[in-house]
Amino acid sequence: MLLFTSLIVLFGVVRTDEPLRPQYHLMPVKNWLNDPNGPVYFNGYYHMFFQYNPNAAVWGDMHWAHSYSKDMVHWIHLPIALAPDQPYDTNGIFTGSITIVDGIPIIIYTGITHDNQQVQCQAQPANISDPTLTTWIKSPLNPLITYPNGRDPSTAFQDNEKNYYLIYGYGTDELGGQAVLFISKDFSNWTYLHPIHSNRYDKFWECPDIFNITNRVVLKASLLGRDFWTIGDIDPNQLIFIPIDHDLGEFVQLIDHGKFYASKTFYDPMNDQQIIMGWTSEDDNLGPQRGWQGFHTLPRAIFLSEDGLELRSRPIEALRTLRDSQSHRHFNDIILPRELPFQLIPNVNGNQIEIEINWQFPMNQNLDFGLIVLSTPDGTQRTNVGITSRNNTTVMMNWDLPGWDYLSVPNISESSGCQLSCNRDNRCQAWTFVKDQQINKNCFLKSGVPFLISNLDCVSGVKQRENNEQIIWVYMNRTLSQKNPNAAHGPIHAPVWLEATSTNNQWFLQLDIFVDHSVIEIFEPQQGRFAITGRVYPEEDNANNLAVYVNNASSNNENIIVNTIDIWNLNTIWA
């Protein structure tokens, strides 16, 4: 049996091929440029290693920079940990992880050679008694692994015979994206075994992690520009990972529904929880002009749903220490009128804030309403964090669900045939039938539930669940978020299944929203059913107000209500 709990799951840096010289998350000062991607816990401190270009806010000359913390929230800068100064890493120090081996934290990372080959290398602290682990020494045996030509080694794990196992990302034309598996007795001499898992949703996987939560094995990886998870088992004889249900690359398996990539996970022994952190790249063209590129997302605790079949996440409890208690504002029992294009929340503003809001709204109605952040007083520049629902999502005439297609079903002449094809396919979560297209190119099955868009040429539907749940969409509308035509303006969304209640035919939904200048992170904290990360770049200095809106209200005169809303300004993370 493989024992994922036999090692503290620790890791170092994450990123591979995008430009990085970013501003640290939740920091208003813009002159420190780095990309943290997860802490390592050792001897009472969390250590954050991250890819960093010390010379420019563009891709190139990648080092590993370093910060440390006592609580994973407040950080102190340390000198650069690793520089590309050897023939095996002269073209860059790429993603890696840390594993505790006989009480010593050992970095294993991808080095890029002079001829751009990807090789796996090691380093360890020069002084294990130094609590800051400031100085690191590369192994004289480097490079330790030279084949296959992949990258992003994950934290190692062990079996009952004390063998170490290591995975990293790879891909081939034959098998598609892969996590390849290695074995070692001493953590220095590694033998390649085979892909532990692969599929053809993408040609290459980045940043794979494998870990244990509540006695279930979770595999995650970065592909298709997103981060996916799958839950399964490892065959102890063949040493391959077998998904229980859905697989990496299916959009029902997203870790975050927004701008979130190259995440890494680790076990936090102080709070007995698995932590995940991701990287959110810029969504405009002005990174070099600003002097930084990319953020690290907030640390999130990840856990399983009650049935053990879904990965969930929420912000770690320690983030509450960032709240400025004197800035706290509370409102409750706000009944929104049926027509409300825009209404400011009085005497509240900020661009580095946290908002907890509890919505109450009628079931089975066509609704569209929400909260506005980073808004000018007149609403001409703003970002909507909204909720939309339909009275019936089984068959929706004149609506499209664009994207996330995995199959075009042949020989379909009516929308009912498309619906039937979806219901018969375990992968299918939703479908769209295009009425004016020829047979064989008119029925599209989707591995997730995209955001609905009005389209007279389409009929769409969502595969219904048997336990009387109803789907809604939580979204971020960025149409008016910025004027820059080279910034992203498209919506970001997450589908959410709500359970029926007996309370006045109403739905209840809590959102925890973090706004940090150009980064917005949205969570459903009670059950951790989704996370959304988005980037916006308001140009107006006074785009720091909050407001509410109602685009579509209930047809039965039932109210949309803000049960409670709590707002805090957030302090800096820098200790």
For residue 12, give the amino acid letter: G
Residue 512's alpha-carbon distances to 300, 351, 509, in angstroms, are: 12, 15, 10
- DSSP letter for 424, please: H
- Three-state DSSP state, 290: helix
- Give the whole-angstrom CA distance, residue 309 versus residue 498: 17
Question: Degrees (nearest 5) of the Cα angle 22, 26, 29?
Answer: 65
CA proximity to 245, closest of 427, 412, 425: 427
Q: How many other C-beta atoms are found inside a 10 Å radius of the C-beta of residue 558?
A: 17
The answer to whether 143 and 119 are in contact (CB under 8 A) is yes
Q: How many other C-beta atoms are found inside a 10 Å radius of the C-beta of residue 139?
A: 15
Q: Considering Cα of 186, then 187, then 188, then 193, what sign does the dihedral take?
A: positive
Q: Cite the DSSP H helix spans in 246-337.
A: 287-290
Hey, which residues does 52 pair with through a beta bridge?
63
- Give the whole-angstrom CA distance, residue 75 versus residue 70: 8
- Three-state DSSP state, 289: helix
The answer to whether 526 and 295 are in contact (CB under 8 A) is no
Q: Cite the DSSP H helix spans in 153-260.
A: none
The answer to whether 373 and 520 are in contact (CB under 8 A) is yes
What's the token pair of residue 83?
């520089």
What's the token pair of residue 300?
């999130």
Q: How many other C-beta atoms are found inside a 10 Å radius of the C-beta of residue 454?
A: 9
Q: Cite the DSSP H helix spans in 300-443.
A: 415-424
Alpha carbon distance, N-terminus to C-terminus of the chain: 43
- Give the whole-angstrom CA distance, residue 449 versus residue 455: 16
- Give the whole-angstrom CA distance, residue 92 versus residue 83: 8
Please name the residue that has the structure tokens 């997302």.
297
Q: Considering Cα of 516, then 519, then 523, then 528, what sign does the dihedral take?
A: negative
CA proximity to 497, closest of 357, 338, 312: 312
Which residues are designated catalytic?
35
- Give the whole-angstrom CA distance, residue 203 versus residue 226: 14
Q: Looking only at Cα atoms, what is the longest distance across the chain? A: 74
The answer, yes or no, to whether the previous bond of 315 is cis (omega within 30 of 0) is no
Please name the residue that has the structure tokens 């973090």.
514
> Which backbone phi and psi does 319 adopt, to 5 degrees?
-65, -20
The answer to whether 522 and 474 are in contact (CB under 8 A) is yes
CA proximity to 472, closest of 511, 514, 433: 511
